[in-house]
Every structure is written in C-alpha cells, then in structure tokens.
Amino acid sequence: MRVLITGGAGYIGTSLIQHISKSFPNWKIFSTDIKPFNGLENFSNVEFQILDITKKEEVISLIQKWKPNSIVHLASILNPPPGMSEEIQHKIDVEGTKNVLDGAVLSQTEQVIITSSGAAYGYHKDNRDWIEETDPIRGHSAFVYSRHKKEVEELLVSYRTQHPELKQLILRPGTILGATVNNLITDMFRKPFVMGVFGHLSPFVFIWDEDVIQIIIKGILEKKEGQFNLAGDGAMTLKEISSMIKKPYLPIPAFLLQSVLFILRMFRLTQYGPDQIDFLRYRPVLSNKKLKTEFGYTPKFTSKETFIQYLKAKGVPYHER
C-alpha cells in the first residue's frame, strides 16, 4: 500500500502518519506540507517533501513520481494567519485540491480521500434539524472557509463525472476535538462566559480526533467511496456546554450582536462582521446515520462524551449532569 498524505505536518496529518507507521509498518507513506515535519526521523517508512500545493506542475510531478494507491488530501486553511488574503486561501483550498485531483488522474491513483467539512452545508435559517449527506451543499457567502468548501465539493462533482475511475471518499466532519486541539471553536470555551444568540440553541456536534483517524484508515483499507458526515451521536447546545464548564451563558439578541460586530469591524478590532452571527445562529447539525449504516463505523464517543474527553485532556473542571 502506497499512501500520500497532503498537509502531513498538520494536526490530523501528523496523527494519521503516526498511526499508519505504527499499525501498518509495511505501508509506504509519502507526505507533503508547506512547513517541515518535526520528528520525521522517528518514522522509517515515511518519505516527506516540502511542497506548495498551489504549484500545479510540482504537485502533479511529485504524485506521478510516487504513484500512490490512495491520496489523503488534508491540506487546507482553517484558521488563516493574520494578513493572509482570500486570494491566497482560495489558491490553497480550491486550486490546490484541483492540482491534487489532476495528479491523481494522471498517475492512475485508485482513490482520493478529501476532508471537506460540515461548514460546506452552510449556516442557513432553513437548515434541517439534522443534516444528511443528501442535503444541498450551499456554503455561506460571509465565511471564506465555508464558501471554499462548497467550491471544492462542486469541483469533486465534476471530477466524478469526468473521471469515474477515481474513487472519491468525501468526509464532512463536525467540530473535531482531541487532547491537543486548539482552534477557533475551542477558544470560545476558554472565555469567561459562553456567548450565544438569543432565541437560538446553537447545537454543536463533536467527533474525537482518533475516530477521524480510524475512519480514514478504514476508508483506505476498504477503498471506500461516497460522502459521509463525521459526528458523534447527539449534539450539545451552547447553554449545555456553558453549564458543563461552569461558566455563565450570555445569549445576546441578534440585532444587538450585529451592531456590536459592525462597530468593532469598522475600527478593525475584529475580523468578524454583522452577517457572521449566522455561524452561531444557524449551525448545521450533522446526522451520522449514513456513517454508521453504510460506511460501517460507529464513533467511539458521542458528542457529549467527546466534549468530556476534551475537558479531561485539558484539565478543565466540569460538571456532568
């Protein structure tokens, strides 16, 4: 088995490489990232190369050289560094994905595994209570990440039509938590209070990082294809989350929150605008029914249990009801 992992120096990429290297020593792992991979000397079956995913000729050349059976494409921008333009993010997220797909086609790769996101469904008032994989991919105009995931999914549709021989496994995770995870979502829970939008429950679905790794491995082993939401059973509202971590819950009326964000962005004190309260107001709540029945994987932890595991790992006191 020859597996190429893009974004290998990232959080999930590093965890995936560690797991494969330990559990499948006979596999050959190739990995790329724009930044160095720390601790590469610990893995005898890993070949790593720094690569700018936006450089089409270099990407295609490397994939043709390595000729992987499966490609796990993890390279994307979730939390852009300060000053990174939307144009650069688009080149990485969308054009970079196209470069990988072109390389896969030309090298006759059997399968690509793409990490999309629940954000691809978008943050909309008419979102169903539980979103399934057959629901439309709409993105959201106010969120670059969500908009790019929509574009990537549209790109994948066109490749399924033009290149049906290339199997696509598309994973749409909810919020991924793990022992060392730090992101914009976890930052919300570190503040003195938990802020929400008045009149909206704002449910979150969580999945443990080790579950994500196991799903990817199963996808490679069984050459799975299709689209699957990744989430533990159930969901947690912001009020439930605040109660568990013993912090006050502060639901702010939408019009007031929009006004505050408008003023803050006008003075460049925040990157968020008034239209971005939809992130909390209309969250896509992912159903994992297809993951369990068709893919054949039941996450080890429910959403609530995942959040508890995260709190334990971080040493955060919590109250479990």
Contacts of 121 (CB under 8 A, 6+ apart): 127, 131, 135, 136, 137, 138, 172, 284
Query: To which residue do tokens 């109660």 refer?
Result: 243
The string of pLDDT tens digits covering residues 125-175 is: 999 999 999 999 999 998 999 999 999 999 999 999 999 999 999 999 999
71/258: higher pLDDT: 71
Rounded to the nearest 10 degrees, what angle do helices 144-162 and 96-106 cross at? 20
pTM of the model: 0.94
The answer to whether the Cα torsion of 112, 113, 114, 120 is positive or negative is positive
Domains along the sequence of the chain with CATH: 2-178+206-231+285-300 (3.40.50.720)
Residue-level pLDDT at 5: 98
Owner of token pair 């209070």: 193
pLDDT of residue 189: 77
pLDDT range class, residue 263, cuts 50, 70, 90: confident
* pLDDT tier, 270 (very low <50, low <70, confident <90, very high otherwise): low
Assign 186 a pLDDT band (cuts: 50, 70, 90): confident
How large is the angle between the packed helices 11-23 and 209-221, nearest 10 degrees? 60
Closest CA to 284 of 165, 118, 160: 118
Per-residue pLDDT tens digits for 212-249: 999 999 999 999 999 999 999 999 999 999 999 999 99
Closest CA to 207 of 318, 314, 118: 118
Identify the pLDDT of residue 266. Answer: 80
Q: How far apart are CA 115 and CA 93, in angstroms?
A: 11
Secondary structure element (H or E) that encloses residue 56, with its range: helix 56-66
The length of the chain, given as a count of residues: 321
